[in-house]
Structure 1
Amino acid sequence: MSGGHAVRRGLVRALPVSPAVVLLVLFLAGPIAYCGYIAFTDLQLTGQAESSFVGFENFRTAFKDDAFRNAVWLTVVFTVLSSLIGQNTLGLALASLMQRASKPVRTLTGAVVIAAWVLPEVVAGFLLYAFFRRDGTLNAILEWLHLPGQQWLFTLPILAVSFANVWRGTAFSMLVYSAALNEIPQEITEAAEVDGAGGWRRMWHITLPMIRRSIGTNLMLNTLQTLSVFGLIWVMTRGGPGDRSQTLPLLMYDQAFLKSMIGYSTAMALLLLLVGALFSLVYLRLLRTEV
C-alpha cells in the first residue's frame, strides 16, 4: 500500500513538468532521433525513389573527405578565435571597465554593444561585409591613416568572419560577466586593495576564481552558439574564396541543398552535434570542479 502511495505521489509531482517533457520529446528528441536514422541512409533530396540503409558509410566517407577535414579545422579556428578568445575575453574586459566607468559612459557603451547583439544575423553580416570589402570602411580608415589596405574577405576570410562574430556576440558575455561581477562582495575587493594587490592580481586571484561558474556557463553557451553560426558567414563570404571560410554548417548546407545528399549531410550534422556535446561535458565538469 505504501509503495502504491509513493508511486501516486511521484506521479503527482511529475504532473506539472509533463507538458514540458512532451514538448521536448516532440520537438527535440524526436527530430534528433529521426536525423540519427537518416544519417545511416543514402537519402537524397532529388533523383531517388527511396532510400536504403548504408550503415556507417556516410561517416567513413566524411572522415576521408578533404572538404570535411578542412571544414572541421576552420570550425575549430572560428570557434576558438571568436568565442573562446574573442567574445569571452572582450566581454569580461568590457564588464570590468564598465564597473569603473561613469553612468553616461556605461549607458552609451552598453547601448552600442547590445545594439550589435540584437541585430538580425543577416543584417550584421551585410554590415560587416561592407566594413571588410575592398572599398569598404576598414580600407577607407587605413587609407586615411596612410596605411596599406587589402581585400580582407579574400586574403583573411576566416579572420574576418571571426571578427564579425566577436562584434555581434560580445554583448552576451558582457551581460553575463556584469551580473557576475556585481555579485562579488565589495569588502573582498577593498581588503585586497588595502593589502596592496594591484588590478591584475585582484583579477587573477579574486575576481576570476569567484566568477568561475559564470565563466564556464558563458563559455558553454557561446561555444554551442558559435558552432552553429551559418547566416553571418554565408552573407559575408559564402564559405569562400574557395573553401577558406567554409565551416561545418556551410559544408552541410552545400551537401544537403546544393548537392542533394541529405543522408551524408545529416551524418556530418550528427558529428557536429557530438562535438558540441563534448564541449558541454568539458564545461559541465569544470563547473563541478572546486577551486
Structure 2
Amino acid sequence: MKFAKRYWTVLPSMILLCVFMVGPILWAFYGSLTNTSLTGVNAVNAQFVGMKNYMHMFTDRDFPNSVWLTIIFVLVSAIIAQNLLGMVVAVLMSRANKVVSQFVSISVIAAWVLPEMVAGFACYAFFSREGTLNQILGVIGLGQRDWLYAFPMFAVILANIWRGTAFSMMNYQAAIGEVDKSLIEASVVDGANAWQTFIHVTVPVIKQTIMTNLMLITLQTMSAFTLIFVMTAGGPGVKSSTLPIYAYKAAFKFGDIGYGSAIAVVMLVIGAIFGVIYIRALKDEKGVTNE
C-alpha cells in the first residue's frame, strides 16, 4: 500500500517510457533476429534467422568503416572540439564585459537553436562547390575545392562543432558561475596565476559537470543523423557513412530492415557502454567529493 502511494504519481511517465522507449528497443532487437525486408515476401512473412544479421557484420566490409568513421566523428567533433571549445568560450565569457559576453553568447547559441535540418542546409551551402567557403577562398586567391566530395568527414565534423559547441558552453558557463569566489581569491593570494587557478581550483570543482557534459555530447553526437544526411547523405560512396547513416541505408535504401535493426542494436549497446562508463565515473567522483 505504501509502495502504491509513493509511486502512483510516476506511473503515467513509466507507462509512456515503456511505450515509446522500451517498446521500440524490444521491437528493434526482435527485428534484428529476423529477415524482415522493406518490400517483397519477407516484408509480410518475415522468418526468424537468429544471429545471422550480426554474423553478417563480420563479413560486411562497409560496417567496420562506419564504426571507424563514427569513432572519429564522436572523438574529434564532440569529446575534443565541442568540449574544449565550450570550456574556452565559457571561461572567456566569464571574464569579458557584459556587452561582449551577451554578443558571443547569442552568436554561439544561434547555431544550436536552429533546427538540425536548417543547420544542415546552412552547412551544405557553406561547403558546397559554389558555396560561401569557396567564394571566400576565391576572393583571397586560394584554390577552391569541392569540400563535400573531397573531404566529407572534415566538413561534417566542422559542421557538428559549429552547431554543438553552444551546449558545452552553457553547461560550463553555469558551472563556472557556481564556483566559490573565495577559493579563487585564496589561490590568487597564494600567488597562483590565472592558468594555475583554473587548473587547480576551477577544474576540480566542476569535474562532475565535465563528466556529465562528456556523456551527453558523446551520446548526442553518436546518434547524429540529420546533419550528416543533409550535407552528404553518407557519401560520396561510404566516406561519411557513420553508423546511423549506415543503418538507415541498410534498412530503407537497400530494404534490409533486419540488418538495419541489427546495426541499430549495436549502436544502442555502444551507447549503453559509454553511458555506464560515464555514470560510474560520476559516482566515483561524488564518492571522492563526499569523503
What band does the TM-score fall into relative to the shorter chain? over 0.9
| Equivalence for 2:35 | 42
Please, what TM-score do these two structures have when normalized by structure 1?
Answer: 0.94
1:195 pairs with 2:176? no
| Equivalence for 2:168 | 173
SS in structure 2 opposite 1:148?
Answer: coil
What percentage of aligned pairs have identical amino acids? 48
SS in structure 2 opposite 1:74?
Answer: helix
1:93 pairs with 2:108? no
| Equivalence for 1:31 | 24
Q: CA deviation at 1:200?
A: 2.1
Q: In 2, Cα distance between the equivalents of 1:61 and 1:47?
A: 21
1:18 pairs with 2:11? yes
Q: In 1, Cα distance between the equivalents of 2:138 and 2:110?
A: 28
- Aligned match of 2:64 in 64, 69, 73? 69
Q: In 1, Cα distance between the equivalents of 2:130 and 2:193?
A: 45
1:149 pairs with 2:144? yes
Q: In 1, Cα distance between the equivalents of 2:15 and 2:223?
A: 25
| Range with bigger deviation, 254-263 or 187-196 | 187-196
1:118 pairs with 2:126? no
Task: State the AA in 2 paired with 1:33.
Answer: L
SS in structure 2 opposite 1:146?
Answer: coil
Q: In 1, Cα distance between the equivalents of 2:131 and 2:195?
A: 38
Q: CA deviation at 1:128?
A: 0.9
Q: Deviations over 1:249-279 (max 9, x none)?
A: 1111111111110011000000000111111
Task: State the AA in 1 paired with 2:75.
Answer: V
Task: State the AA in 1 paired with 2:257.
Answer: I
Q: CA deviation at 1:152?
A: 1.7
Task: State the AA in 2 paired with 1:126.
Answer: F
Q: Deviations over 1:215-236 (max 9, x none)?
A: 1111111111111111111111
Q: CA deviation at 1:134?
A: 2.4
Task: State the AA in 2 paired with 1:268.
Answer: I
- Aligned match of 1:284 in 261, 270, 279? 279
Please, what TM-score do these two structures have when normalized by structure 2?
Answer: 0.94
Task: State the AA in 1 paired with 2:141.
Answer: H
**Count of aligned positions:** 284
Task: State the AA in 2 paired with 1:28.
Answer: M
Paired residues for 1:220-239 under 5 Å? 220-239=215-234
Gaps of 5+ in 1: 1-7
Q: In 2, Cα distance between the equivalents of 1:116 and 1:50?
A: 46
| Equivalence for 1:182 | 177
What is the alpha-carbon root mean square deviation over aligned residues? 1.2
Task: State the AA in 2 paired with 1:117.
Answer: W
Q: In 2, Cα distance between the equivalents of 1:149 and 1:191?
A: 53
